[in-house]
Structure 1
Amino acid sequence: MAKVKTGLSKKLLTRVLSVYFILTLIVTVGQILTEYLNAKNHIESELQTLKNTFSVSLTRAIWELNNLQAESLADGLIALPIVEGVQIRDENGQYIADKGRTAKLPPEMVMTGVMRDHPGGTFGYSFPLIFEFSGRTSHVGDVTLYSSANIIFGRIEVGVFFLIGNAIIKTAFLVFLFLNAFRQMLTDPLEELTQQISEFDVNRPESSKLHLHIEDDNELKLLQVSYNKLIDDLIDYKQKLRSARNELTDANRKLDDQNIMLEQEVARKTASLSKIMLDLEQQKDELIVNQRELRQENENRQYIEDELRKRNNELAESMETVKIAKDQLVESERMASLGGLVAGIAHDVNTPIGVGVTAASFLQERIHNLETAYQEKTLTGKTMSAFLSEANQTTELLLGNLNRASDLISSFKQVAVDQTSEAIRDVDLKHYIHEVIQSLAPNFKKTTHSISVNCPENLVVKCAPGAIAQIFTNMIMNSLIHGLDEKENGKITISVSQQDDDIIVNYSDDGKGLSEENLERHFDAFFTTKRGKGGSGLGTHIMYNLVTQALDGTIKASSTQGEGLTYEIRFPIHS
């Protein structure tokens, strides 16, 4: 009997142990990685805790320009087991202390606590130094504490060895257990089964039945029963085959007689078949010619279909590119509108703030003079009266300008936040339209145009206010840039009314209007009458999309050349 090169039990055992070894390796590596990450998190927490311990002392030392004390504190920090390096910088980014194992920091100062990873297995926690004095805070510098993977491995070294040892012991025990079980339950019974099967005798099948020493009723026992049943069936088939052989001999004799008769019949029909074969051969030649022509036509059609499919794919890619470019231009237009709003508001806010600074400086000077007179004991009632009068006037001027700046910033803040947000909330329409107009006031400073708003009090709509702000901003700026650019005293009228559950906005200006041809393309993307003069052609397109999509409404434009432009907007009160 030939020996098996690779035993089934050995191969099965190898696969089972391989899977177990891979799973054990993955679990062990995962546990080690978890230990490493937990230890790193603990060290990062300890570094953050050191901020509360040393930040006050370091802040005061840098504030008092006591660099020696700061370096002493740095030496104390680096002496801690978890700290491998310390960097202390002043408010100008100059290094006061750079000790131990550190890395190069970005030039920007740290404003909040931040954890960074650095090359070489190091990581550091950076936090700012804030000095508080009389309710005011000053940024005096920052500190970076460094630790490394070596410290982490030092903490988890025992745990790692324990995990590896545990995995090795469990693997060795499982290998021994599987070897013993496979040998008793699979290897030995299979060898006995192979030996008995190899002794099979065709001439004596009854003596070739299997007799295995298997106590359990398992698959091998079932194989023995099935094999013995196969032997019994083989004996029956041999007897039936012997009988069939005798019957076949008789049938062959009868078949020879029939063959003689068939040969005579075949000879008679062969003549007629020859003529039929000649006709079929001619039809076959014609069919081959037709097949070649059909194959050529199919190849031509396939080529045309491939070319059409290729052109369709190229067209689809081009359309996708155009759509992406269009979306980017629309977003750029919205951000450009917000940028213009920021520039105008910044210019208007500078004026009251500048007046406030001047008033505050004047009041500080008068207080200083009063303090000097008081200390020199030359303070008189007349001086005190004059100071009080000037102080009252100065504070009134200061408060007035600061309130004006506050109102401007409040309006700008609400409108700017709404233009960059899609959150839905309740909006007082009249108040909000005035806020939008106030945010656009810098654009009207050099003109004499006027805007009148007719809107009911306490008319509240539920929608995304950014859409309202963008729509009114685009309409007003379009009137200013396109409709009233050649007119001195232009007039813009905004009328708002409620009809059932709908809001109706009628907006009109008395500018130069649009021609019938331009009015038909008014809401098309990239259509502008200021091509080459800064116009992008996206303002009215954005406005149309906001009304129809964000507000779920409708917008219509009507105009007559020389008589201005009118918009009618209708949208549900609960958009």
Structure 2
Amino acid sequence: MASVQTGLSRKLLTRVLSVYFILTFIVTIGQIFTEYLSTKSHIESELQTLKNTFSTSLTRAIWEVNIPQAQSIAEGLMELPIVTGVQIRDENGEYIADLGMTIAQIRAPISSGELEDHSGGLFSYSFPLIFEFSNRASTVGDVTLYSNFNIIFSRIEVGIFFLLGNAIVKTAFLVFLFMTAFRRMLSDPLVEITQQMSAFNPEHPEESKVHLTLHDENELRLLQYSYNQVIDDLIISQQKLRSTQEELTRVNKKLDDQNLLLEQEVAKKTASLSQIMLDLERQKDELITNQRELRQENENRQYIENVLREKNQELAKSMEHLKLAQDQLLESERMASLGGLVAGIAHDVNTPLGVGVTAASFLRDRIDTVKAAYEEKSLTNKTMASFLGEAEQTTHLLLTNLNRASELITSFKQVAVDQTSEAERVFNLKSYLHEVLQSLAPSFKHQKHVVNIECPEDLEIRSAPGIIAQVVTNMIMNSIIHGFEHKDNGVIDLLVKEEDEDVMITYKDDGCGLNAGQLDRLFDAFFTTKRGQGGSGLGTHIMYNLVTQALDGQIDAFSEPDKGLRYEIRFPKRT
């Protein structure tokens, strides 16, 4: 058996002790560092205590300009074990005493006690010298006391050696304890198991079982049981193998007899196989013929596919042309709607402007009359009172008609700009709907149709107002042209409300309505009930595309004959 290069117990012992050594080293270093910080803190406290002992005498000596006494006190401080340097300065920062290990100070005079660390293990405590006289405090100088690492080490030297010795003793004892335990509990039993396993005899496996002298039911005991069980299984397997070998001998003898019979049967089958091969050759020729026909058919299909591909390309170009035509029709519909607005607004604006011109002319004539009477000195109170009354009425009439014209132009300007642009902005929906309705008023001013708008006062949305104006315009004009064709007093209700983050617009009229067939085709392109009478059939189709694509919403229509038409439009308000 090959020898073991590195024992398992040695590996375990090495890893356990390595972890212990590292932990012990870290803990020892931490204890030494803690001891160092604690001792340093004590020394700094002692330096601060020296302030209370020597500050009074030093302050008085400097106040009285007794420099020798101050230097004598500095020398006395140097005699203290914890002091390795002393610096005493006057109020101008000039050194009175600079003894021992110190560093040059370039700062201004000290105003309060300060602890400071320096390079080379040096640290200091500085404090001002304040002399009080007649309830007045004056800073006469400052003192800096120095100490260093050597002072700290001299105090903790014994403790460090004790910590190191304690760690070494504990480590040595633990190494001895682990080595003894590993050898007795692991190494020796493993060697015994290895030796017994090495003496395995395959001819007599029952004599190769492992017998250990263990007092505990541990993993090694389990290993012994498992190995002995393997030996028992091996013995059973050997017995089965012998029985199988005997059976195999009998089977081989029967197999020889069967082979002889099989050779005879093969001779018979060979003759039949030759006939089958002839039949296969004939079928092969037929298959080659079929393959040629199939190849010709594939070539025909490939030709047809090429023709279809060319047709698809032509169809794609036709779709592009159709899309361009649809965009042009949409623009034409917008411009047609805008043209209708222009015509209606122009007529409505002419009326108040004509009244305003007439009123202004009348007022000018009355002013000329009053001016002539004034120049001829024939102006009376009655004439003046009559002029003022007429002027007030004329001015009121003039302002009323000019304001009416201004409102019409303002509404038309906003709606016209919006209908020629798809730019988005934040706007008040109710105010905008009234502007759209005011711009459409000339279209049915000679009729008695009523449009009711119900919308929250503070509903503001971010959207393209031109799109909303076009949708509302199409719905109202469709109702006037189609729904109220034989009716002069139609009623249109426009209900707007908020539902979560969406805007819900319900539009309905009391016109003639649509039947089921017309309702199904309402949003189809080029569908109109006014074919040959100027209807393009694009109004509702454009309205559907504007709602579903531009507004990212949905629109549904409901109608029955003689029960009017109702639209339900929903789109996000995006405030």
Instruction: Place the TM-score, normalised by the shorter chain, in its bin.
Output: 0.3 to 0.5
TM-score, scaled relative to structure 1: 0.48
TM-score, scaled relative to structure 2: 0.48
Larger Rg: 2
